[in-house]
Structure 1
Amino acid sequence: MSSRHLIETDLIATLEALPVIDFATVDLPPLRAAMDQMFADMPMPEGLPVSVERKSVPGENGAPDVGIMIYTPTAGEAPFPALLHIHGGGYVIGSAAMTEAANRARAAEMGCVIVSVDYRLAPETAHPGPIEDCYAALRYLHGNAGALNVDSKRIGVTGESAGGGLAAALAVMARDKGEFPIAFQHLIYPMLDDRTCTMAEPHPHCGEFIWTPDQNRFGWSAYLGHAPGAEARPYAAAARSDDLSGLPPAFIAVGAIDLFMEENLEFARRLTRAGVPVELHVYPGAFHGFDMAADAAVSKAFKWNSDDALSRAMARR
C-alpha cells in the first residue's frame, strides 16, 4: 500500500529531487567518491566563529588510525560541552564531510566542540570495526579534553540513521566498559535493530521512501557480515541489548512513515522501563531524512526540538 498520501505537502519537492539508490546494482566505491566530491563542492558557511581541524587518532586494538574532524568555537566561555558526532549512510556510505556545514553551524550556535568520526564502512569493514572506531574517537575526546577546552562531564554522542544506531550502541559499550562516560545521547531516526528486516508483519505505511526494506537488508547484511535477524552480537545493534539500565538520557526523533519508526518507539519504551529519561518526537508525514527539506514546517519543528534538547542536555553539569 502506498503511503504517499501521508507525506507532508512541503516535503514532496525534496523527495522527488532525491536520487534512488539500488544497492543491488550500484558499485559502492564510485558512489562514495561521487558523494565525497558533491560535499566537497558545497559552499561552507562563512564568518562563523569556529575553527576546523582534521586529524587521525589511534584505532582500537591495533586497528588503523581513525579520521576525525574537530569543530571548536573561537568565541564563548570555555570549557565547552562536546558532541561526538557519527554520520549516517546505512553503514555502507557516507563520511564526516557530509555534515561539515551542519557541524560548523552547530558548533557556533550551540557553543560546543564537535568531534565527527570517519569510521570505516561496511562491507569492507564489518562489525565490530565501525563501533570500535567510534570508541577510539570517544577515547581521544576524553583523553584530550583539557587540550580541546572540553568539559569532560558534558560529552554527549549524536548521530543520524546508521550514525544514530552507532551512537546508541556506543552508549551501551561505554556504560559496560566504564572508562569514558557519555552524558547524553541524541539520536536522529536511528538505525537500531536488524530484526526490522525480518518482521513477520512489516508496517504497511513505513519505509516506502528514501530508506526501504531492501536497502535496510543490504545495510545490515553488510555491517553484520551475515543475514540480519540471526543471533545478537554485542554492540552490533543497540536494540538487541538485554539491559538498557544505566544509559544516559536520550533524545529520539523520527518521522511517522520512516522505516525505523516502530523500532525507535520500542527502544524508547524499553529505555523508559529501564529508568532512562527519554524525550521522544514522532513527526507526522515525515519520511527518513525528512530534515533535508530544511524549509518544510515539520523540519523547522524538528530543528527547534533538537536544538532545544541539545541546549538543555549540554547545560547539565
Structure 2
Amino acid sequence: MSRRDLIDPESRVPLDALLEAMPGGFNSIPDIVQRRETVANMLAGMEVPENPNVSKEDRTVPGPAGEPDITVRIYRPVNASGTLPGIYFIHGGGMILGSVAGEDPTATMLCDQIGAVVVSVEYRLAPENPYPAQVEDCYAGLVWMAKHADELGFDPERLAIYGASAGGGLTIATALLARDRGGPALRFIMPIYPMIDDRNETPSSHEITDVGIWDRAGNIEAWGWYLGGKEPDGYAAPARCEDLSGLPPAFIDVGTVDLFRDEDIAFAQRLMQAGVPVELHVHPGAYHASETFAPDAALSKRIWGLRLDALKRALA
C-alpha cells in the first residue's frame, strides 16, 4: 500500500491535482532556480485578497557581523490599541526554497488573528549560501526585532517565534542561539513539522517516498545542499543538540503522512524530558504542509484552530 492511501481524502484532492500537473512533485525539478520559480508561481496562484486590517512595511536591517544586511517584512494590526505581543516569523522551504512573499498570507493571518506585530525574515538560501547563513540571518533578525520593540509597538516579554518545515528547524535553532548567547528572551516557540534531523534514519523518513510533497529523496538532497559538506552541529540539525534544557515552552504539530513525523515526535519527547513544556499534536491523514495545499479541508481548519488557540494563550 502506498503511503498516499493514508492521506485524509479531502486534503488529498489538491495534492492529486498538483501531481497530475507536475508528476513527481516540485522536488523532481533538478534545476534549483527553476524549482524556486515553480514553487513561487504555485504559491502566487494560491494568494488570498489583501487584508485591510493589516499594514505591511519592508525594511533592511543589519545582518550577522561581517555579512550582508537582511530584509524583514513588518506586519501590524491597523486598529489595534495598547502594547501588542510580537511574533518572529521564519518561512519554510527546506533551506533551499521559499521567501517572505511566498508566506505573506500566513504571516498576515497571524498578525490579524492574534493581534500581534509580526516580523518575517528573508534569510539566505542554500546551496548558494550553506549553513550557517540561514541560522545566523534568523538570529540577527530576531535580535533586531527585540531591540526595536518600542518602535515596533510590541511587548518584548511577549515574544514568540513561528516557523514551519525548514522554518520550524530554524525556529528551534534560533531559540537555541538566543539561549546560548544570552539573546532575546522568548515567551514561546511554535516549530511546525520542523526539519531537524539530517540523518534520515527514522521509520517515517523511509516511508515517505511517493507522497509528492517533501519525500525522502528531496529531503536528502536539501540537507546535502544546506550543510555544504560541513559536519552538522545542534544548530544546523537541532535533533543532534544534546542539551535542550532552558528552551521556551513549545507547540509542535506534524501529520502522520509527513516524513518529519518521527523525528518531530522524538524531539518533543526530549523537550519534555528536559523540563520544557510542550504541546504536541500528531494529525492523522495530514501530509507535509497539507493545511497550505488544502486550506478548506476540515482537517486543515482543525490544525489552524489548535495553533491559533495556543498562540493566543501563550501570548496573553
TM > 0.5? yes
State the AA in 1 paired with 2:215: T
Q: 1:66 aligns with which of 60, 67, 70?
A: 70
Partner-residue secondary structure (3-state), 2:103: helix
Distance 1:289 1:52 in 2: 25
Aligned partners of 1:6 and 1:285 also within 8 Å:
yes
State yes or no: 1:211 paired with 2:231: no
TM-score under structure 2 length normalisation: 0.92
Superposed counterparts of 1:45-56, under 5 Å? 45-56=49-60
Residue by residue over 1:224-245, the C-alpha shift from the partner in whole angstroms, topping out at 9 and shown as x without a partner, is 1128xxx442410111110000
Superposed counterparts of 1:14-93, under 5 Å? 14-18=14-18, 19=22, 20-21=24-25, 23=27, 25-37=29-41, 39=43, 43-93=47-97
| CA positional deviation for 1:169 | 0.8
| Identical positions, percent | 44
Superposed counterparts of 1:163-242, under 5 Å? 163-196=167-200, 198-199=201-202, 205-209=207-211, 210-226=213-229, 231-242=231-242
Partner-residue secondary structure (3-state), 1:313: helix
| CA positional deviation for 1:40 | 5.2
Aligned partners of 2:208 and 2:216 also within 8 Å:
no
Gap regions ≥5 residues in structure 2 = none
Distance 2:150 2:133 in 1: 28
Aligned to 1:310: 311
Aligned to 2:98: 94
Partner-residue secondary structure (3-state), 2:287: coil
Partner-residue secondary structure (3-state), 1:284: strand
Residue by residue over 1:93-131, the C-alpha shift from the partner in whole angstroms, topping out at 9 and shown as x without a partner, is 110111112222221121001111110000000110011
- My pick for the range that moved more, 132-141 or 292-301, is 292-301
Partner-residue secondary structure (3-state), 1:147: helix
**Could you say if the C-alpha distance between residues 302 and 224 of structure 1 is closer, same or farther in structure 2, counting changes exceeding 3 Å?**
same
**Could you say if the C-alpha distance between residues 202 and 73 of structure 1 is closer, same or farther in structure 2, counting changes exceeding 3 Å?**
closer
Distance 1:275 1:207 in 2: 34
Aligned partners of 1:87 and 1:162 also within 8 Å:
yes
**Could you say if the C-alpha distance between residues 154 and 118 of structure 1 is closer, same or farther in structure 2, counting changes exceeding 3 Å?**
same
- My pick for the range that moved more, 41-50 or 279-288, is 41-50
Gap regions ≥5 residues in structure 1 = none
Distance 2:131 2:159 in 1: 24
State the AA in 2 paired with 1:240: R
Aligned to 2:266: 266
Partner-residue secondary structure (3-state), 1:12: helix
Aligned partners of 1:113 and 1:150 also within 8 Å:
yes
Residue by residue over 1:49-100, the C-alpha shift from the partner in whole angstroms, topping out at 9 and shown as x without a partner, is 2110011111111111111111011212231111111111111011011111
Partner-residue secondary structure (3-state), 1:146: helix
Distance 2:9 2:111 in 1: 31
**Could you say if the C-alpha distance between residues 43 and 278 of structure 1 is closer, same or farther in structure 2, counting changes exceeding 3 Å?**
closer
Distance 1:25 1:32 in 2: 9
**Could you say if the C-alpha distance between residues 134 and 203 of structure 1 is closer, same or farther in structure 2, counting changes exceeding 3 Å?**
closer
State yes or no: 1:122 paired with 2:126: yes
Distance 2:270 2:281 in 1: 16
**Could you say if the C-alpha distance between residues 205 and 221 of structure 1 is closer, same or farther in structure 2, counting changes exceeding 3 Å?**
closer
Superposed counterparts of 1:148-163, under 5 Å? 148-163=152-167
TM-score under structure 1 length normalisation: 0.92
For the aligned residue pairs, the C-alpha RMSD in angstroms reads 1.9
Aligned partners of 2:26 and 2:38 also within 8 Å:
no
Distance 1:213 1:204 in 2: 7
Aligned partners of 1:206 and 1:261 also within 8 Å:
no
State the AA in 1 paired with 2:115: G
